[in-house]
Amino acid sequence: MIEVKELTKKFPQKEKEELLAVNNLSFTAHKGEIVVLLGVNGAGKTTTMRMLSTVLQPSSGTATIENHDIIRSPQQVRANLGFLSGDTGLYGRLTAREIIFYFGRLYDVKDAAISSRIQELSELLDMSAFLDKKIDLLSTGMKQKVSIARSIIHDPPVMIFDEPTAGLDILTARNIVNFIHNCKAQQKCVLFSTHIMREAERIADRIVMIHDGKLLAEGTWQDFQDETGLKDLDDIFIRFAQSSQPEVQND
C-alpha cells in the first residue's frame, strides 16, 4: 500500500528562484488495486515517483510504502518496491540472466530463489530464448521483458511504473499491460503513470489526476463521468485543468 501525504518537491533554479514540481500532493493506493497517475508532461509524475522510490528527497511532506516511511527508512522502502520506467537502461555487456541475478542479489534474494524465480518469470514473459544473450544483442521488446523481470525479481508487494509504455510498439506495450494485470491478480499494489488518457481509461481502477504538481481530481472513471457529465476522458481532464486555473492564478 502507498500513502502519499502532502508531498512537496522544490527544485532550486537560477537566481534564487524555485520550481515547485510537486505541490502538497496526497493520495493512496491499496493492495490489489491499479492506480493511474495521470497528467501532461511536466505535471510532476516522474518527480513524485522518484520521491516514492527514494531517489529524490522530498522538500516537505512524506509518503509510506507498506508503512515504511520514505524519509526515515529508505532501505525498507526500496526492498518493498519494484520500479520500472520506459527509459531505465540495462547493462549492455551483461546477459539477461546476469542482470537479473545482479539485482536479485542486491535485494538479498538467495541464489537458489533467484534461479527458480528466473525460471518462473521466463515462462511467464516468454524469454527463455534470450536469457543467456548479451543485452546489446536484444530487441527493444526483449529488453523491456528483461527490465520487467529485473524489477520484480524480489517479488515486491508494491510496483511503480513510470510511463513504462512510452516509445514502445503495440506488441511490447501489450506485454506490459498484461504484466500489470498479472500484478493486480497477485494482490500487488500498482501505481502507474501516463499522459495517455486512453491507457489510463483502459487499465485504471482509480485515477489520480495531477496538474502543475497539484492534485486535480481523484476517483474512478465513472466518478469523473458522473461529476462532469462528459464521456471522454480527454474532455474530462481538460475541464478539470481549466477549472483549476483561476486557483493557480490566485496563488
Binding positions for other proteins, rule: CB under 8 A: 11-12, 14, 50, 53-57, 75, 78-79, 81, 83, 85, 87-94, 98, 102-103, 105-108, 147, 150, 154
Tell me the closest approach of the beta carbon of residue 47 to other proteins, in angstroms. Answer: 10
Q: Which is nearer to other proteins, 91 or 174 (CB)?
A: 91
Tell me the closest approach of the beta carbon of residue 151 to other proteins, in angstroms. Answer: 8
- Burial level of 185, CB count in 10 A (0-12/13-18/19+)? exposed
Tell me the closest approach of the beta carbon of residue 240 to other proteins, in angstroms. Answer: 29
Q: Which is nearer to other proteins, 101 or 224 (CB)?
A: 101
For the chain, give the secondary structure using H, E and C. CEEEEEEEEEEECHHHCEEEEEEEEEEEECCCCEEEEECCCCCCHHHHHHHHCCCCCCCEEEEEECCEECCCCHHHHHHCEEEEECCCCCCCCCEHHHHHHHHHHHCCCCHHHHHHHHHHHHHHHCCHHHCCCEHHHCCHHHHHHHHHHHHHCCCCCEEEEECCCCCCCHHHHHHHHHHHHHHHHCCCEEEEEECCHHHHHHHCCEEEEEECCEEEEEECHHHHHHHHCCCCHHHHHHHHHHHHHHHHHHC
Q: Which is nearer to other proteins, 10 or 239 (CB)?
A: 10
Tell me the closest approach of the beta carbon of residue 44 to other proteins, in angstroms. Answer: 15
Q: Which is nearer to other proteins, 159 or 210 (CB)?
A: 159
Q: Which is nearer to other proteins, 43 or 197 (CB)?
A: 43
Tell me the closest approach of the beta carbon of residue 91 to other proteins, in angstroms. Answer: 6
Q: Which is nearer to other proteins, 165 or 209 (CB)?
A: 165
Tell me the closest approach of the beta carbon of residue 87 to other proteins, in angstroms. Answer: 5
